[in-house]
Amino acid sequence: MTDGSASHAAPTVVVVGGGFSGLLTAIHLLDNDRQVIVRLLEKSETFGGGRAYGSANGQHLLNVRASNMSAFPDRPDHFLDWLQARDGTGDGFVRRGVYGEYLQALLRGALGEGGHPGRLLLERDEAVALDLNGTRPSVRLALGRSLTADAVVLATGLGLPAAAPGAACEGIGAPAYFADPWSLDPATAPAGDILLIGSGLTMVDVASQLDRPDRRFTVVSRHGLLPRSHGPAAVAPLPDGPLTTPRETLRSLRAHAAVVGWRSAVDSLRPLTPAIWRGWSLAERRRFLRHGRAWWDVHRHRMAPRIAERMQRLADEGRLSVLAARLESLEPAAEGLVARLRRRGLRSAETRTFAAAVNCTGLSADILGAPLLRDLAGQGRLRPDPLKLGIDVDDAFRVRDTDGAPVAGLYAVGPLVRGARWESVAVPDLRKQTAEIAATLLADLRAERQARRPVTPC
């Protein structure tokens, strides 16, 4: 059954994914066009939460200060004002669930009388396929319906972490192996020695959540680097030096950090990061990912100070140790799992037994794991970006087909387009991106309508 209820006179956009990126793209579309109808599609129970902000766990704090978490690029105090009006909370690192409430409030505002009543339609279903062969794109849903539209935005986020490197199938299938780090129940998760694979903010989430005196954590990652803590950081100007290759950028950044402090130096690059990234050749970007990424990530994606204190306490109590090592194998044992770990620089591996292992390697960019993206790739309407960070898009977020040509009416936003922008994960970047993509999409729709308008003889 096709749902063609929306009149073709009013353009319709289907936004697939109701997390931050999908919701804000929808809001910008509605705010900037008085006619457009947006169908926001979400497969989970909650619109406006996504993986990041649906958390009800009080240990999960934002890793960005509230003063930098406004959803709107042109209203920097929007989130702070909302917090203040809610319960008088000021700037700081608030719970992620509170940010989820903020997004819910934005959603209610868009649906209500003061927003765009009747023009934002919420659909609880999963998009599983997209037909782009007809006059208008048609999105097929898991429950059997199809939605036709004038344009479709993919805002599906990234997938669950990829299988931990080195873990054998039997290890991955074992009950003591947790593939989804956000599904752990701290009350029922095993006690004892726990292996955390990956040392970024996902690991920090898991260690905070599972922290109990009867648990000890061994963290393993290639470089063994932990995210740094937030701290005072004055706004600094851009570095003076050249930024045209990763090596030069690192040199300029180091010199700048010596003057303004490393936090301010790293933050100073933020507004320019997409341009710097685009300015590097593919080989340079690849080099950065191989040699600079781990270093960049720990300085750029920082922990809230309270969380950093907790990690320090765990280390001081001897309950958290971090190894720069490779997981060579992970196999089920009588009780738990046996891991072979090879420390950086050593030839031989050590064998250790853990009560449980949690995959904290971060969200997966394997776009072919999701049915909708796999379907599009199978039709030749989408391809991974050359660095396999997500989907290949042009500078205006139009999805590229297997020949590299933009697909009419198909856009992607959010972490999916990291290959084009690099900084495409945190709210300060996504708020700009969602406004940008809405403006491009509306301009494309208007141009297309103009082109279709019959020419009247004078």
Ligand X SMILES: Cc1cc2nc3c(=O)[nH]c(=O)nc-3n(C[C@H](O)[C@H](O)[C@H](O)COP(=O)(O)OP(=O)(O)OC[C@H]3O[C@@H](n4cnc5c(N)ncnc54)[C@H](O)[C@@H]3O)c2cc1C
**Positions that interact with ligand X (CB under 6 A):** 16-22, 41-44, 50-52, 62-64, 96, 126-127, 155-157, 205, 370, 372, 414-415, 425-427
The residue among 97 and 409 lying less far from ligand X, judged by its C-beta, is 97
Q: Are strands 127-131 and 138-141 parallel, antiparallel or unpaired?
A: antiparallel
CB of 39 to ligand X, least distance (A): 11
The residue among 19 and 239 lying less far from ligand X, judged by its C-beta, is 19
CB of 337 to ligand X, least distance (A): 24
CB of 300 to ligand X, least distance (A): 11
Asked if 170 and 176 touch (Cβ cutoff 8 Å), the reply is no
What are the angstrom distances between the C-alpha of 299 and each of 231, 260, 327, 343? Answer: 11, 15, 24, 23
The residue among 27 and 52 lying less far from ligand X, judged by its C-beta, is 52
With b for 16 or more beta-carbon neighbours within 10 A and e for fewer, the 371-402 pattern comes to: ebbbbbbebebbbbbebebbbbbeeebbbbbe
For residue 286, with 0-12 CB atoms within 10 Å meaning exposed, 13-18 middle and 19 or more buried, which class applies?
middle
Beta-carbon count within 10 A of 177 CB: 24
Asked if 453 and 444 touch (Cβ cutoff 8 Å), the reply is no
- For residue 419, give the nearest of 321, 311, 282 by alpha carbon: 282
The residue among 181 and 336 lying less far from ligand X, judged by its C-beta, is 181
The residue among 195 and 376 lying less far from ligand X, judged by its C-beta, is 376
CB of 457 to ligand X, least distance (A): 46
The residue among 46 and 353 lying less far from ligand X, judged by its C-beta, is 46
CB of 105 to ligand X, least distance (A): 16
CB of 55 to ligand X, least distance (A): 7
The residue among 280 and 422 lying less far from ligand X, judged by its C-beta, is 422
Query: Taking every pair of C-alpha atoms in the chain, what is the biggest distance, in angstroms?
Result: 86
CB of 143 to ligand X, least distance (A): 11
CB of 41 to ligand X, least distance (A): 5
Asked if 273 and 422 touch (Cβ cutoff 8 Å), the reply is yes
Asked if 115 and 109 touch (Cβ cutoff 8 Å), the reply is yes
The residue among 41 and 207 lying less far from ligand X, judged by its C-beta, is 41
The residue among 111 and 155 lying less far from ligand X, judged by its C-beta, is 155
The residue among 302 and 342 lying less far from ligand X, judged by its C-beta, is 302
The residue among 41 and 356 lying less far from ligand X, judged by its C-beta, is 41
CB of 332 to ligand X, least distance (A): 28
- For residue 205, give the nearest of 355, 311, 318, 93 by alpha carbon: 311
CB of 145 to ligand X, least distance (A): 13
- Identify the sign of the CA torsion 351, 357, 362, 364: positive
CB of 363 to ligand X, least distance (A): 6
- For residue 131, give the nearest of 403, 381, 390 by alpha carbon: 381
**Separation CA 316–CA 321 (nearest Å):** 10
